[in-house]
Structure 1
Amino acid sequence: MQETYDSLLKAAREALDGQDAQKAFSVFRRVLEYPGAQELDHSSRWKEAWELFADIATPIAGEEFAAIVRQAAQDERDVQALYNLGYQLIEQSLHGMAATVLLRAHLLVPGAEPMVTELVVALEGMGAHAEAARLLQAQPQLVQSSFMCRYLLAYNALMSGDVDETRRLAPGLESLLARSGAEEEQAQAFAGMKERIHQMLARADALQGVSPLDKKDLRGWHFVTTGGVLLHLSPYGFDEGMTGRYAFLQDSQALCLEGIRRVEAVLDQAGRKPPRVFVLPDRHSAILAHATARVLGLPTEPWPEQGSDAPGLIVAYDVLSLEVPLLQTLRTHRPGQVLWSHATQWTEEAPFAADLTTFLYQQNTSPWGERLRVNPETQKVERTAPTEGTVEALAEEVPSALLEDTALADLPELTKRVAAMAQVKGDAAGGLFREQGHRRRSLTDSPVKSNRFN
């Protein structure tokens, strides 16, 4: 049965009547997601839809948020109410719904900078960078006069894969920054934005001739946007929408060993052989660290509670799974230290980007965690208990895992790119080559798009 505005409205009301606000939200958000159902063009439907959303939001987000929704529902031409709602929706990470509201406000007051920039932020949050760039390109006066608008266009153009447009815009950021009249704190933030654009361009320039930076170059864009090295590309569904990322993965000892071998090759290419392997307190990280030390023939050392300035390879199974106090000790680059996160979830932003990442996933289970299997007797899917054993005993099994003959076939291509990455100096350098400063943001998007699954 085809979903319509009326059928979704009915289903959401039934769920709400049944005291299931979360179900009502998951059903009805499809009406409100950018650019919104066509019915929202009618005042009565606009009011009806957003008032229902306010009722849904009350038990989930509270009455204060619901009141902001109701204010915008009363009059779809109340620009301030629309702006307030759009802002709050962004705060709730509901970027698609925010874009619907803010587009309405933008059409009422075209060219108003606060509305344009907030709408761009919402589109960015959706991963709609090309649409954000087109919106800004349609406002040439703002791009010429506003540092923020010029920066947002430069950034979204690059995140759309248009390096040439970003390169054209970058020189003008300096003069706009000088003329911005911003207070000290905001001026420092603007200076950081300008530097971010110049650094990404420097990394893109370094890859010319060795990495195509096209719509399928996941490794290349991972380096440009985060400064990290992506070691492994998923072969599954590459041309069917995944383009090198994993959707659902049950990791294996073989893939862990492959990751170790790729780390070894990259460190050799970069001339960054570590004197030790640091073992983090996280169990899965500790297993992988001990396995890595065995393969590389290096001693292990526990990572101190307060961190360490000593050189070494820091092995994390998955940075996103680490506790916040531990993460704080890993945030800063130090001379001779390299942070490797074997697994990185690409649909949720990690606290920072690791210098090396084996693979990107949406859902993953480690080789030693609770896993799914098909019971051979019942043919039903069931969960297995986590693997028992000491960290050291489980680590001993990894080096003997069997790799497929083609598992490391692309190492020459990978190391060639790493050699090019090494040419970037100073603050723009990739994480593998930095020895000071904070690690960069870990992004959930890039010019290379992939399917997402709920």
Structure 2
Amino acid sequence: MSDARAFLASGDIAGLIRHLRFNADGMELGEVARLMAGAAAMSGFDDMQEAATAVAVQQEPQQLYDFGYACIERGIAFLAIPALTRALEMLPDEPLLLLELVSALERENRHADAVAVLEPRVDALEPWPARYLLAHNALFAGDLARAEHEAGRLPVPDDQVWLPARDRLARMITRGQVVRGVSPLDATDLRGWHFVLGGSFVLTLSPYGFDAGMTGRFAYTADGFPACRRSLDRLRLVLDAAGRRPTSVGLLPDRSSRVLGLAAARLLGLPAEPFAPGRPDVLAVAYDLNETDVETLHERAEGQVLFEHATCWTEPPAVSADVTGFLHQVAKSPWGEQLRVSDDGQPETVPPDERPEEELAAEIIAADPHEDEEGDGATPPDPDERLVAFARAVGGRWLTGPRDMVHSPGPVPSSRFA
């Protein structure tokens, strides 16, 4: 507790939140509330300060709900879960408390826990949203059969606001039905589940830490020209396997995407032109969708394919790419500022590579795609033939529906670093 108070006393609100993420479950709720009241006062969050102050004094359902709601709204849903759980214990039949708790659990990617709190209550509640949420969370927890069962019991929603959610769930389940015939869909099947949940192919699995918590995703990675070339080579394999023939490459406005787009155009023998949203049969190339304008990418034109080389899995982009090079928490582009170890063993910062975009694209084309791909040996072999076979098997369910954002990593866990 002294550590938490020290963070607050020093004004280190970020440090306090990190501390609470790992320690709040073992703390008394009133003390957590007092800490958050102080943090909210320093941050100017009047809603949080009022709700936390109330819980520090009295922990009845209304106060607990208000505190949980404020935590969710302020992006610290993990602190909402104990308060809302206690409130639901007091009023077990109150749907508002249940749905708010499910919302908090979803934001923390605790989908199995969401299923557990919904399951005994769902029959007494309106199916939209209760049974929909049960099916959705069952799927994201890795239980495709349960998701199918619950989705099959859903009536047509009376309120049309639920139609996009219904259609999205149906697309995910349909993809799952195809994928489970060719891939295990277990807790290590990153490529399979990534396609089920987002309709996207993952081209490369991280060769580091697969059996030590990463399961195919990167934490921090300094990207290189060989990895860019490897992504483009594997992109071509997927396009060929799925029978897709883009007629041009669409260049997105940011520098990194233009560099990669020019390289893709050269490698595929296609013309490159500024991206136009309504143009058919375009391969839109992004380096990292969090670094470019995605407003026009949610809906796809006929034959359009969106490729993203470096996809952040901890802060997913607002649209899901149709093809992802690799999944990372932090990635540094080959031409951006880099951190390296000098000859004398000291860390040093390398400034950005300011060469023209065409020259950087040429270096991608000239790179050896197999350089630095060995890793630690723990990642299962992933030869080109396996990727091609997967793409051929599921390609009929690719490029369907809008490019919805996928907030959760789903059933395949990876270690996340603060």
TM-score range, shorter chain: over 0.9
2:353 equivalent to 1:387? yes
Pairing of 1:423-438 with structure 2 (within 5 A): 423-424=396-397, 430-431=398-399, 434=400, 438=402
Query: Which whole-Å CA distance do the structure 2 matches of 1:308 and 1:368 have between them?
Result: 31
CA deviation after TM superposition for structure 1 residue 308, in Å? 4.1
User: Is the CA contact 2:33–2:56 (under 8 Å) kept in the aligned structure 1?
Assistant: yes
2:66 equivalent to 1:84? yes
With the length of structure 2 as denominator, give the TM-score of the two structures.
0.93
Q: 2:55 aligns with which of 60, 72, 90?
A: 72
- The DSSP-based 3-state class of the residue aligned with 2:180 is coil
Q: What residue in structure 2 maps to residue 99 of structure 1?
A: 81
Relative to 1, partners in 2 of residues 1:151 and 1:275: Cα closer, same or farther, differing over 3 Å?
Answer: same
Query: Which whole-Å CA distance do the structure 2 matches of 1:28 and 1:447 have between them?
Result: 25
- The DSSP-based 3-state class of the residue aligned with 2:215 is coil
Q: What residue in structure 2 maps to residue 355 of structure 1?
A: 322
Q: What residue in structure 2 maps to residue 364 of structure 1?
A: 331
Is the radius of gyration larger for structure 1 or structure 2? 1
* Higher helix proportion (structure 1 or 2): 1
Q: Per-residue displacement from partner, 1:138-181 (whole Å, max 9, x unpaired)? A: 325336x5331111111111111111111111121116x35xxx
Q: What residue in structure 1 maps to residue 198 of structure 2?
A: 226
AA matched with 2:182: V
Q: What residue in structure 1 maps to residue 342 of structure 2?
A: 375
Q: Per-residue displacement from partner, 1:171-204 (whole Å, max 9, x unpaired)? A: 21116x35xxxxxxxx122222222222211101
- The DSSP-based 3-state class of the residue aligned with 2:385 is helix
User: Is the CA contact 1:346–1:445 (under 8 Å) kept in the aligned structure 2?
Assistant: yes
Pairing of 1:173-212 with structure 2 (within 5 A): 173-174=154-155, 177-178=157-158, 187-212=159-184
CA deviation after TM superposition for structure 1 residue 316, in Å? 0.6
Q: 2:283 aligns with which of 307, 310, 313?
A: 313
Relative to 1, partners in 2 of residues 1:331 and 1:101: Cα closer, same or farther, differing over 3 Å?
Answer: same
Q: Per-residue displacement from partner, 1:281-334 (whole Å, max 9, x unpaired)? A: 211111111111111122211225xx4424221111111111xxx311222200
Q: What residue in structure 2 maps to residue 422 of structure 1?
A: 395
- The DSSP-based 3-state class of the residue aligned with 2:64 is helix
2:23 equivalent to 1:53? no
AA matched with 1:422: G
User: Is the CA contact 1:343–1:357 (under 8 Å) kept in the aligned structure 2?
Assistant: yes
Q: Per-residue displacement from partner, 1:30-66 (whole Å, max 9, x unpaired)? A: 443xxx22x52xxxxx434312320122112423320
Q: 1:439 aligns with which of 403, 411, 415?
A: 403
RMSD of aligned Cα (Å): 2.0
Pairing of 1:32-181 with structure 2 (within 5 A): 32=24, 36-37=25-26, 39-40=27-28, 46-76=29-59, 78-142=60-124, 145-174=126-155, 177-178=157-158
2:254 equivalent to 1:282? yes
Pairing of 1:392-403 with structure 2 (within 5 A): 392-403=358-369
Q: What residue in structure 2 maps to residue 262 of structure 1?
A: 234
Relative to 1, partners in 2 of residues 1:12 and 1:404: Cα closer, same or farther, differing over 3 Å?
Answer: same
Query: Which whole-Å CA distance do the structure 2 matches of 1:162 and 1:409 have between them?
Result: 25
Percent sequence identity over aligned pairs: 37
User: Is the CA contact 1:113–1:142 (under 8 Å) kept in the aligned structure 2?
Assistant: no
User: Is the CA contact 1:346–1:362 (under 8 Å) kept in the aligned structure 2?
Assistant: yes
Query: Which whole-Å CA distance do the structure 2 matches of 1:239 and 1:357 have between them?
Result: 22
2:245 equivalent to 1:273? yes
AA matched with 2:291: S
Which one scores higher on RCO, CA 8 angstroms, separation ≥ 6?
A: 2
Q: How many residues align?
A: 411
Relative to 1, partners in 2 of residues 1:20 and 1:266: Cα closer, same or farther, differing over 3 Å?
Answer: closer
2:306 equivalent to 1:334? no
User: Is the CA contact 1:228–1:355 (under 8 Å) kept in the aligned structure 2?
Assistant: yes
